[in-house]
Amino acid sequence: MTNTIETSRLFAPLQVRQWTFRNRVVMPPMVTCRSITAEDGVEWYRRRAAGGAALVIVEATGVPRFGSELTAPSLRPLVDAVHREGALAAIQLFPVNRGDDHQVDALVDAEIEGIVRAYRLAARVCLDAGFDGVEPHGAHGFLLNRFFSSAHNHRTDKYGGTPENRARLAVEIVRTLRETVKEKMLLLYRHSPVMEPGYGLEESLELTQRLVAEGVDILDLSPSSREGPADLAAPFRRFGVPVIAVGAMDQPSRAAEALREKRADLIAVGRGLIADPDWPRKVRRGQWDAVVGCIKCDLKCFGNLRTGIPIACTQWDEAEFK
């Protein structure tokens, strides 16, 4: 059975500097509880690339791991596997190791400088490994996001107080990444547009203007919807760089609306690609009835994540999608 939803925009290519996205579908970074250098982790990302996504963003990975545990040779099989399937490969860079708890107000200058240095080293490793892009994680109430939040950041030094000061660490990281990779990689940035009073849309737009001026190529907004598909992402298109929107975009009608109304340039499909890595290929062919749909049960994706075992899906045929 076919569907009458117009999805041609979803499968139009996009050029961002020297990189060509074969369509507008992005696999967002989702922690899998798999080693990204082990066979099963490499296969996880290869399978999603093979399903037709244009960009695969590898899960949040702590920058302290790079240079010792994670090296260019150890990461290259992952990058090569994604590239062989025709997708671009990026990786989300987390400022600390997963599970570490760093409080904004407690960090001293030397620790902040150490985070920036760790981002520089991570970028060098990722460049040598062949990644097409890197993405600092500045969203969802994690450390970089808390620096920007007046509810969490009570510092009285150059990293606190005014929105400009609260944005300083993000700006320093982006500047360092751009200086490190030059024009050889795409630079993405993950940001939550709104959180609480004192950190709303206008403050986010001011931050974004600074980040784009420092070299960000693509804005990754999450959450990107409040009342309609990608309505929170739409204001960020004013900066002239592509915007990724996420949020129930495995519903083709929402993805099509976000692109048709020019609220976003790229669409991130998260749990939909866990449930069915072939979502892009099937949607492109109009094979709606063949899509293994996410039912939002959260049992084996978020559920497994909470217990630290490899994520899966209750909807899987294990032999086909593991």
pLDDT in tens, 158-174: 999 999 999 999 999 99
* pLDDT band for position 194 (cuts 50, 70, 90): confident
Please check whether residue 249 is in contact with residue 274, taking contact to mean a CB–CB distance below 8 angstroms.
no
Query: What pairing do the DSSP bridges indicate for beta strands 243-246 and 55-62?
Result: unpaired
Residue 307 placed within a domain: no
Answer yes or no: is pLDDT of 275 > 80: yes
Backbone φ and ψ for 204, nearest 5 degrees, come out as -65, -40
CATH code of the domain in which 183 resides: 3.20.20.70
The distance of Cα 140 from the centroid of its chain, to the nearest Å, equals: 12
* Confidence (pLDDT) at 5: 80
pLDDT, tens only, 285-314: 999 899 999 999 999 999 999 999 999 999
Please check whether residue 264 is in contact with residue 230, taking contact to mean a CB–CB distance below 8 angstroms.
yes
Residue 275 placed within a domain: no
* Confidence (pLDDT) at 320: 59
* Confidence (pLDDT) at 4: 67
Residue 49 placed within a domain: yes
* Confidence (pLDDT) at 1: 40
Answer yes or no: is pLDDT of 322 > 70: no
- Domains of the chain: total: 1
What average pLDDT does the structure give for the chain? 95
Please check whether residue 247 is in contact with residue 229, taking contact to mean a CB–CB distance below 8 angstroms.
yes
* pLDDT band for position 2 (cuts 50, 70, 90): very low
Does this model's pTM top 0.75? Answer: yes
Residue 322 placed within a domain: no
* Confidence (pLDDT) at 71: 98
* Confidence (pLDDT) at 195: 79
Query: What pairing do the DSSP bridges indicate for beta strands 19-21 and 25-27?
Result: unpaired
Instruction: Please compute the mean of the pLDDT values over residues 130-139 and round it to a whole number.
Output: 98
Domain that holds residue 38: 8-270
Q: What percent of the chain has pLDDT over 90?
A: 92
* pLDDT band for position 318 (cuts 50, 70, 90): low
DSSP classification of residue 213:
H
Cα separation, 95 vs 60, whole angstroms: 9
* pLDDT band for position 196 (cuts 50, 70, 90): confident
Residues 6+ apart with CB under 8 A from 310: 32, 33, 34, 40, 304
* pLDDT band for position 199 (cuts 50, 70, 90): confident
Cα separation, 179 vs 176, whole angstroms: 5
Q: Return the closest-CA partner of residue 5 out of 206, 292, 249.
A: 249
Backbone φ and ψ for 22, nearest 5 degrees, come out as -70, -20
Cα separation, 301 vs 311, whole angstroms: 5
Q: What percent of the chain has pLDDT over 70?
A: 97
Cα separation, 120 vs 181, whole angstroms: 9
Residue 71 placed within a domain: yes
Residue 236 placed within a domain: yes
The number of beta carbons lying within 10 Å of the beta carbon of residue 233 is 26
Backbone φ and ψ for 7, nearest 5 degrees, come out as -115, 15
Tell me the HSE value of 103 on the side-chain side, using a 13 A CA sphere: 5
Cα separation, 53 vs 43, whole angstroms: 15
The amino acid present at 3, given as its one-letter code, is N
Instruction: Please compute the mean of the pLDDT values over residues 74-82 and round it to a whole number.
Output: 98
Residue 68 placed within a domain: yes
Cα separation, 56 vs 82, whole angstroms: 7
Cα separation, 136 vs 134, whole angstroms: 7
Preceding omega of 310 cis (within 30 degrees of 0): no
The number of beta carbons lying within 10 Å of the beta carbon of residue 110 is 7
Answer yes or no: is pLDDT of 321 > 80: no
Residue 185 placed within a domain: yes
Instruction: Please compute the mean of the pLDDT values over residues 57-62 and round it to a whole number.
Output: 98
Place of tokens 């294990």: 318
H or E element at residue 138: strand 133-138
Burial of 296 (0-12, 13-18, 19+ CB in 10 A): exposed
State the virtual CA torsion across 198, 143, 161, 212 in degrees, nearest 10: -80
